[in-house]
Amino acid sequence: MALHRTARHSTPTLPPLVRAHSLFRLRVSFVGGGFKPYGWEIYDEEDGKNVRRSPSGFRTSAEAWQAGLWLLDQHDTSDC
């Protein structure tokens, strides 16, 4: 990494850091029996690791999907 000096200042300036963007994906799966057997998982597409899982179950896969999408839209999972 090369340091650059500006003409007016004698302090070195560093090139800006660029954060890599991970692609987060949502999946819904059957997680157990009972009245709410479906759950969602948000995972990093690059390494396949789970970022977050639903803390409770849902009655249908569609409900789980909507809840997971809401979380992706609201939080962008950058704080996960």
What's residue 8's pLDDT? 53
Average pLDDT over residues 37-57: 91
d(Cα 15, Cα 75) in Å, to the nearest integer?
A: 28
pLDDT surpasses 90 at 47: no
- Dig out the tokens for 21 from the structure: 């963007």
Residues of the chain with pLDDT > 70, as a percent, come to 65
pLDDT, tens digit, 9 for 90 and up, residues 1-36: 444 444 554 555 555 533 456 688 899 999 988 999
pLDDT surpasses 80 at 45: yes
What's residue 1's pLDDT? 43
Sketch the domain layout of the chain as residue ranges.
23-80
